[in-house]
Copies of this chain bind each other. A is one copy, B any other.
Amino acid sequence: MPVFLQFLAFLFLVVVHVESEAETFRRTLISAEKNMRTETWQVTHQELTPRAESGWSVRKITLHGGKQEGVDLVILDNGILSITVVPTRGMGILEVKGGKLRIGWESPVKEVVHPAFINLQSRGGLGWLEGFNEWLVRCGLENTGHPGTDEFINNVGEKAQMDLTLHGKIANIPASEVEVVVDREPPHRIAVRGRVDERMFYGPQLELWTEVSAIPGEYGFRVSDTLTNRGDSDSEFQLLYHVNFGAPLLEEGARFIAPIQSVAPFNAHAAEAIQTFQDYSAPTPGFVEQVYCMHLYSATDSRTTVGLVTQNRGRAVSMSFSTEELPCMTLWKNTGAIKDGYVTGLEPGTSFPYNRRIERGFGRVPKIAPGGSREFHIDFEVHSGHEKVEELGRRIEAIRAGRPTEVSVEPPKID
């Protein structure tokens, strides 16, 4: 090639390079459509955003041994927080680490269990509990609550009974598509996206695109999900974000804060402790779970914020979301013995965790039209230091705006 042509080619490459710098980086890690699965992979700020202030990385690894053989993990590290996503378990989030702080909990389940080892119908529909150890686990999509029977229309067009299993299937369905998306423009939002399909013949055709994203250097991140009905008829759905905190955030004297419009105990047992439902006790052997169902006040943009605050008010984690997207806030208090799982769940959802049949009776099982979508956004923030925690408290009080909380001392009547 003559020298001047070489020079032109060089110029062309430079131009292409500069242009692509501005484009979004996109890398498929797992794809049933493209027939691929990446065993290990990583990308760092050095490669994609060398001039950015904060370092970051995304790593893909595969787990081995025992019940976690072949489980995929994607770890998004924004320089401050390291977020471990589990594609094999419905894009749940195993844990979030920031410095010495681990956000998550100590479940009796120690492995990241591959769904092939889970039988949801085990133990009267409680098989889900054999894999439950995530910090954030989605419950749904066909049903999200307690086990029990419900009617459905079967293949011959007749009413038939099915045994709903605890918290539905989505946490035990592997993602069919997983990709990493990095914005080359500041502030360089990094996203791990995954599509989880709950589809069957003569059943739901629900497609959930999940996204966990963070901006390098920030003390927070966002979960953005889009649920689409790919079928040709209206489809019921339920979705609940089961977000679980153990020590050190959960401790004696820790407190749940939120702009509560109304609260009711889930059952008679929870009703006994309704007066202190926002406060946590130390690990208590023999403690039986207490669950509270709330509706929250929101600001004019329909967004609201809830938080879990440590005893000395020196640290908090908050979740902000839309009460239109997630109208039902469930608080799960399970302050049992340490080894049995000392944990609380802050659970915004489209429903409360009663059996779907009950929720339907209360008008809390929404439908999506054919081709329609529903979006869900939750912003998570870590608040360190008394000042930041006080600021969070003020923010929540601003949303409440002096409005009262209606407390039901009795659980709702359920037939």
CB of A32 within 8 A of CB of B203, answer no
Residue A107 lies at the interface, judged by CB distance under 8 Å to chain B? yes
Closest B-chain residue to A270, C-beta based? Answer: B156
CB distance B339 to A232 under 8 Å? yes
Question: Can you name the residue of chain B whose Cβ is closest to the Cβ of A87?
Answer: B66
Q: How far is the CA of A339 from the CA of B229 in the complex (A)?
A: 10
- The answer to whether residues A123 and B152 also contact, given A63-B35, A201-B341 and a CB cut-off of 8 A, is yes
Of all A-B residue pairs in the complex, the 6 with the closest CB atoms, nearest first, are A232-B337, A66-B176, A157-B288, A32-B65, A116-B116, A32-B66
Contact with B along A115-131 (1 / 0, CB 8 A): 11101111110100110
CB contacts (< 8 Å) of A109 on chain B: these are: 199-201
Does residue A163 face the partner (Cβ distance < 8 Å to B)? yes
The answer to whether A124 touches B162 (Cβ under 8 A) is yes
B232 touches A285 (CB 8 A): yes
Contact of A285 among B152, B174, B200, B233 (CB under 8 A): B233
Within 8 A of B (CB), among A108-163: 108-111, 115-117, 119-124, 126, 129-130, 132-133, 152, 154-157, 160-163
Inter-chain contact B176/A67, CB cutoff 8 Å: yes
Of B32, B63, B200, B337, the residue contacting A233 (CB under 8 A) is B337
Complex CA–CA separation, A303 to B157 (angstroms)? 35
Number of interface residues of A (CB under 8 A): 76
Determine the distance from Cα of A338 to Cα of B109 in the docked complex, in whole angstroms.
42
Cross-interface CB contact of A65 among B163, B176, B203, cutoff 8 Å: B176
Cβ–Cβ contact A30 & B66, under 8 A = yes
Is A339's CB under 8 angstroms from B231's CB?
yes
Which of B30, B161, B197 is the one whose CB lies under 8 Å from A110? B197
The copy count of this chain in the complex is: 3
Contact of A289 among B123, B157, B163, B175 (CB under 8 A): B157
B35 near A174 (CB under 8 angstroms)? Answer: no
A34:B339 contact, CB within 8 angstroms: no
> Which B residue sits closest to A72, measured CB to CB?
B69
A340 on the B face (CB < 8 A): yes
Closest B residue to A161 by beta carbon equals: B124
Q: Which of A214-247 contact B (CB under 8 A)?
A: 230-233
Asked if A70 is at the interface of the complex by the 8 Å CB criterion, the answer is yes
Most B CB atoms within 10 A — which of A66, A67, A154, A205?
A66
Asked whether A286 is an interface residue with its Cβ less than 8 Å from the other chain, the reply is yes
Please state if A65 and B122 are interface contacts (CB–CB under 8 Å): no
Query: How many Å from the CB of A39 to the closest CB on chain B?
Result: 10
The chain B residue with its CB closest to the CB of A129 is B201
* Nearest opposing residue in chain B for A122, CB measure: B121
Most buried by B among A61, A123, A175, A370: A123
Q: Among B65, B115, B132, B338, which residue has its beta carbon within 8 angstroms of that of A34?
A: B65
Complex Cα distance, B289 from A339, in Å, reads 42
How far does the alpha carbon of A133 sit from the alpha carbon of B200 in the complex, in Å? 9
A360 located at the interface, meaning its Cβ lies under 8 Å from any Cβ of chain B in the complex = no
Judge whether A156 and B66 touch: CB under 8 Å: no
The answer to whether the Cβ of A393 comes within 8 Å of any Cβ in the partner chain is no
A232, B336: Cβ atoms closer than 8 Å: yes
Least CB distance from A308 to B in Å reads: 20
User: Are B108 and A126 touching (Cβ within 8 A)?
Assistant: no
Contact bitstring A322-346, B, C-beta under 8 A = 1, else 0: 0000000000000011111100000
Distance (whole angstroms) from the CB of A192 to the closest CB of chain B = 16
- A415 interfacial by beta-carbon distance below 8 Å: no
- Known: A109-B200, A231-B339; 6 extra A-B contacts, CB below 8 A, are A32-B110, A66-B175, A116-B117, A119-B120, A130-B199, A201-B341
Chain B, Cβ-Cβ closest to A176:
B66
Kindly list chain B residues whose C-beta atoms are within 8 Å of the C-beta of A231: 108, 337, 339-340
Q: Of all chain B residues, which has the CB nearest A36? A: B64
Q: What is the chain B residue whose CB lies nearest that of A154? A: B126
**Chain B residue at minimal CB-CB distance from A166:** B155
